[in-house]
Each structure stands twice: as C-alpha cells, then as structure tokens.
Structure 1
Amino acid sequence: MITVHHLNNSRSQRVLWLLEEMGVPYEVKRYQRDAKTMLAPPELKAVHPLGKSPVITDGGETVAESGAIIEYLADKYGQGKLLPPPGDPARRAQTYWLHYAEGSLMPPMLMALIFAKVRSAPMPFFAKPIAHGIADKVMGGFVSPQIKLHLDYLEAELGKAPWFGGASLGASDVQLSFPIEAAAARGGLDDSRPRLVDFLKRIHARPAYQRALEKGGPYELMRG
C-alpha cells in the first residue's frame, strides 16, 4: 500500500491528486505545520532525513521530491496514461515540465513570499525603511520581472495545446499545478492571462482533484 506523508498546505496535495487521477489505492498520513513557524513537524524526519513533504512510502521504497514521486508513481501505476514510456518523444516534453516546475518556476514564487514576509515582519521602527527598501528593490529589480517572464511563457505555451504535455492531461500538469496556484495566490496571476486562469479552473473542476482535496484537508496556498 502506498502511504502519502501529507503536510497541510504543501506540495504533497498534488501527489494525492495524481493518485486519484490514476485510481490507485493509497492511505494518507497527515502532518500539521507549526502554527507559528509554518515549518513541518519533526516527526517527518523519521520518514526522510530532510523532514519535508511530500514523501511517499510504497512497500520497501521511500521516495521524496515532488518530481521524483510523480515520475515514480506514473511509471509504476499509470499504464502510460499520464506519462509516456521512456524513449517516446512525448516523454521529453513531460520530463522538461516536471523539472521546470520546481527548478525554474518555483524559486521566484518563494522569493516573493519571503520578501512579503520581510515587509510584514515586526521590527524596530528605525529598521523598517531599510528592510522595506531592500525588499522593494529586490522585488522590483529581479523577482517581479522573473515572475512576469515565466507567466508570459506559460501563457504562450498553453496557446499551443490545451495541456502542457499536449492534448490530454499529463503528469507535468499535476507538477505545474502547485506553482501556478501559488502564482494565483501571491504571484500576480490574474485575468490578464486567461489561458492560465482557465488551466486552474479546469484542474479544479476535475473530480479527481476534488477527491484529493477531501483526502488532504483544507488547502490554502502560500499564506503569510
């Protein structure tokens, strides 16, 4: 039996969605973030040394990192529906997006969250102008332009096909869901990019996505 070690408001939500799409039985072991620090509890270190989520156990296998988990599950249980077999040209596109989601798209989203926290963090009054000035400089000079670059790129890609991997939902769409949802929450994604907005509406309407929300519990991304 597959066990998803699920941290609330985390990347592991998309692992539940993937499993629901494939119709594979699994169980969920829930972990709650610390209410003050928003960090994962130390119990997760008993599953994987980094103590982060997502991580799954499947028999004697322990697999961590979202992309690796999605690739492992889709290869083993997906019967080629969400991830083409190695050697298939369509596999390269899926593999690209699986890596792009966390390697290129997610870092500026995290930086936006960090600098938003810097601006809202309690500090001595004399330090606020300095901290706010640094945050605004980095956001305006690097983070916001990077987010715009990526959102424009993704919007254009969805003009070529309805899903990032092609004509039908693939593993890469599951992987990309988290950073695109993060962009809608804190990264400036709005109706000016209708294809990305429609992408989110379509995945949110899927019965498998809804079932995953029921299994994973309340899901509010990137809260400060």
Structure 2
Amino acid sequence: MLTVHHLGLSQSERVVWLCEELGLDYDFKRYDRRADNRLAPDAYKALHPMGIAPIITDGDLVLGESAAICEYINTVHGGGRLAPPPGDAEYADHLFWFHWSNATYMATKMMVGVIGYGGGDPQRVPFVIERARRANVLMEARLGTTPFFGGRNLTLADIMMVYSLTTSRAFGAGAPMDDLPNTRAYLRRIAERPAYQRAMAKAEPGMAPMID
C-alpha cells in the first residue's frame, strides 16, 4: 500500500497533491512539527536515514526526495499521466521546470531568505538579488504564454513549482508577488482545482493556501 508520510508545513505537501490529482488510493499519515524547535518529530526522522520530508513507503520501499517521489508515483501508480512523453513538443520544457523548482529556484529563495535576515556576504548581495529577479522574469514570461509550467496541461513540473511559490513562504523565503501578475493568476487557477483543495485540506487543515 502506498503511504504518504506528510510533515506539516513541508515539501511533502506536493506528494499529497499529486496523489489527489491522480485519484490514487493511498494511505495518509500526518506528522506535526515539534513545538520546541519546529523540526520533524523523532517518529518522522526514523523513517529515512536523512530524517527529512518528504517520505513515502510502498510495501518494502522507503523513498525520499520530492522529485524522485513524484516521478516514482506518476510512473508506477499513475501510468505516467502527468508527464509528457519523450518526443512531445513540451517534454523538454516540462523537464526544465520540474528540475528547476528544487534546484535553482529553491536555492535562490534560500539565499534571499538569508540576506533578508541580515546574514551572508554583503559583496554577494547584488548577485543574489539579480538571480532572484531573473527567476521572477523567467516565471512571468512562461506563465504569460502557457497556462501551466509544464505546458498546455498540468504536469509534475507544476506539482513541484507550486509549493515553492506558496507554502515555502511560511519560512520567510521569497518576496511578495505583487509585481508578478501572471504568477498570481496561475496560483489562483491552481487553488480552484478540486484535487489541490482536497490535498491542502488534508495536509494543512485550517490554513488558507498562500496563493497571494
């Protein structure tokens, strides 16, 4: 049985949403963060040697890493429905955004978060700010020409990107999106999806999705 182990306010939100989009029969276990340090509880850390979210179990399999989990679930349990096949005109774009989310973009957001709290090397601040600006320009351009990051249809690229644009901001990573109209419109469209609404109700009950 596929089990999604969700740590509150974490990247495992993506996995819950993916399972809901695919309409899968899965087991859901939610873990609250510790009150003293806001980290994962011992029971969650014991699931995987890295001790971090997200984690799924599927029979004897224990798998970590958002992208690996999403690709595994989509391929093994979802028939590959949320990824264009090789040869599709949108295949390469889907791959770019799928990997860009947790590579360049999340790293940039983390650097901006450090600067925002007054840390880091002042000589590197312009470099980080410029990289963040270029990331915003890139996203706005993409979402100004296509309804989803993955192209004409929702793909795993969107499953990965949305957390980076929404709940991750709870940790102070990223600036307001007032000057990103295409991105904000995209998030409003995502928020209207029944599968996303079901996922957020399970993953973060009582918390309004951070789409603005």
The alignment's TM-score, normalised by the length of structure 2, stands at: 0.86
- Relative to 1, partners in 2 of residues 1:36 and 1:110: Cα closer, same or farther, differing over 3 Å? farther
- SS of the residue aligned with 1:62? strand
Match in the other structure for 1:163? 148
Query: More displaced, 85-94 or 43-52?
Result: 85-94
**After superposition, where does 1:133-172 map in structure 2 within 5 Å?**
134=119, 137=122, 140-172=125-157
Whole-angstrom CA distance in 1 between matches of 2:16 and 2:123: 35
Runs of 5+ consecutive residues of structure 2 not aligned to the other structure = none
1:106 counterpart residue number: 106
Task: In structure 1, list runs of 5 or more residues that go unmatched.
Answer: 120-131
More helix by share: 1
Q: Which stretch shows the higher mean deviation, 168-177 or 31-40?
A: 31-40
Using the aligned pairs only, state the percent identity: 40
2:200 aligned to which of 213, 219, 223: 213
CA contact (8 A) 1:10 1:221 kept: no
Cα RMSD, aligned residues only: 2.5
Give deviations 1:162-190, integer Å, cap 9, x for gaps.
11111111111010111122469742242
Structure 1 moving runs of 4+ over 6 Å: none
Q: Find the counterpart in structure 2 of residue 126 from structure 1.
A: none
Counting matched residue pairs gives 207
Q: Is the 8 A contact 1:28 1:216 kept in 2?
A: no
Contact 1:183 1:189 (C-alpha < 8 Å) held by counterparts:
no
Greater Rg over alpha carbons, structure: 1
- Which residue of structure 2 aligns with residue 63 of structure 1? 63
- Note the alpha carbon deviations across 1:39-79, whole angstroms, 9 max, x for none: 21222232110111101011222221000111111112223
Q: Is the 8 A contact 1:9 1:220 kept in 2?
A: no
Per the normalisation by structure 1, the TM-score is 0.82
Farther-moved stretch of structure 1 (185-194 vs 26-35): 185-194
Q: Does 1:22 align with 2:1?
A: no
Residue 37 of structure 1 deviates from its aligned partner by: 2.1
